[in-house]
Amino acid sequence: MPTLKRGLTLLVTVAVTLLGLLLVTFLIGRVVPIDPVLSALGDRANAESYAQMRTQLGLDLPLWQQFLRYVGDVAQGDLGTSVLTSRPVLEDVMRVFPATLELATVAAIVGAVLGIPAGVFAAVNRGRWPDHAIRLLGLLGHSVPVFWLGLMALLLFYAKLDWVPGPGRVDIFYEGIVDQVTGIVTVDALLAGETDIFWNAVGHLVLPSAILGLYCVAYIARMTRGFMLDQLRQEYITTARVKGLSETRVVWGHALRNITVPLITVIALSYASLLEGSVLTETVFAWPGLGLYITNSLLSADMNAVLGGTLVVGAVFIALNLLSDLLYRLLDPRAR
């Protein structure tokens, strides 16, 4: 019975959160100074066509009825039609989202692999130069504008040193060779046995994922350091040292193990932030993902695409937050 109650509470919470997300995106679509009718018909539409399109879009209805209609359309998977591509927005989003997923996943792996050890090392050396260096790196990671860092990286490593390929997901002469199965170029290239395309795609991933990964490293390292400092002050750590356990086992086998659960939440939220915050990175590196799609749609006053993309990002954020909460309960018996 308690399990059923918790399940119902969770479903209600998710439903209310999604409804709030729908309300926010709906209101944004109504307050922006862009006429959806003119976006669909153009500036030279006559009065009769304008009125007909306005009725077709339901803009002549009261606001609450428009919202209910919007919720019903979204529930059926209808996010509207993109003015820019003349295709359903959901179809466009499904086409570009794998590129963002690929970039964010690699950046999150970089952030976790480098950020966790950096945070642990900073906590163990609290107040000494390694701690100050890692904290400075974290400060720079949050302070340096991503578009400037991306442009400088392209200038140095691509234009000057020629160490990595340029913008895009693959070189232009590789485009269209591999059939899209998952939409993730590296995976599709391996499935097709095209190792040349795979390594070319990996090369294109290096710079943008490193730029995004730097921000992820900064956040994860800072949070890991805070968690570790709290654990290293606990009595069980003192007891383990008194018993003669090595410092490596105390730090990595005991203290780090006890912060695994909160770290899962931190990594999940970082991953969600990468999925929604890669707009500037995708723009600088011409990465054909969701961020670039939303940016181009916004510049073209294509509000259906902008709101649809925003809604998908919000839903992914909620899903990852829910997943981290479930993992938290699974791994920590005290949270059940």
For residue 168, give both structure tokens. 């895009």
pLDDT in tens, 222-266: 899 989 988 888 888 888 888 888 888 888 888 888 888 888 888
Q: Give the whole-angstrom CA distance, residue 292 versus residue 75.
A: 25
DSSP tag of 8: H
Q: Give the whole-angstrom CA distance, residue 170 versus residue 168.
A: 6
Q: Is the pLDDT of residue 83 over 80?
A: no
Q: Domains of the chain by range and CATH?
A: 2-75 (no CATH), 89-335 (1.10.3720.10)
CB 120 within 8 A of CB 112: no
Q: Give the whole-angstrom CA distance, residue 230 versus residue 214.
A: 25
**Look-up: residue for tokens 């209101």?**
27
Nearest to 24 by CA among 71, 94, 76: 71
For residue 252, give both structure tokens. 């990595």
For residue 169, give both structure tokens. 């997901």
Number of Cα atoms under 13 Å in the Cβ half of residue 4: 1
pLDDT in tens, 147-193: 888 888 888 888 888 888 888 888 888 888 888 888 888 888 898 88
